[in-house]
Structure 1
């Protein structure tokens, strides 16, 4: 059974009573990150289910779930980064 892109979801579930979050995902990049966390932190992260259609479910500490907006740079910071990039490109030539 092949799922459409719309059906290939990522769902993060947690409640206020428990310290863990459940993450169900079809996203390959997120699956790799979570599998690596399961290997490096086996006491805290675990893979709990494989739905056999490409989706995996993981249990992780709720405090690991973050929503982070992109960093807003000032014009001065942008200028510094542009200068650094230009110098790095010149050095590689």
Structure 2
């Protein structure tokens, strides 16, 4: 079954009282990433349910991350552009 981009959602649910977060997703990229984590770390990440279009996972809520956006100065961006250009022209 093909889902629209709008229907390919990911929902993360956790509360203060419980130590685990539950992740419900229909996004194939997220499913691949979480399946990889389940295979590599089965004691931490668990697949607790699945259908033909979605999967539900359980993990410690401490692994849900909030990050600041990365800030790169214009000077550093220009240096990186020059470096990549130099590497590509070798």
List runs of 5+ in structure 2 lacking aligned partners: none
Query: 1:48-81, CA deviations, whole angstroms, 9 ceiling, x for partnerless residues?
Result: 00133x1100001211111334412111211121
Is 69-78 or 7-16 further displaced after alignment? 69-78
Shift in CA distance, 78/2, structure 1 to aligned 2, threshold 3 Å: closer
CA–CA distance in 2 between the matches of 1:31 and 1:2?
15
Structure 1 position 32 matched with structure 2 position 50: no
Moved over 4 A (4+): 1-4
**Aligned counterpart, 1:66:** 65
Give the SS at the match of 1:34. helix
CA–CA distance in 2 between the matches of 1:88 and 1:71?
24
CA–CA distance in 2 between the matches of 1:8 and 1:75?
35
**What TM-score, normalized by structure 1, do the two folds share?**
0.84
Structure 1 position 83 matched with structure 2 position 89: no
When the two chains are superposed, the root-mean-square deviation of aligned CA atoms in Å is 1.7
Give the SS at the match of 2:7. coil
List runs of 5+ in structure 1 lacking aligned partners: none
How many residues end up aligned between the 2 structures?
90
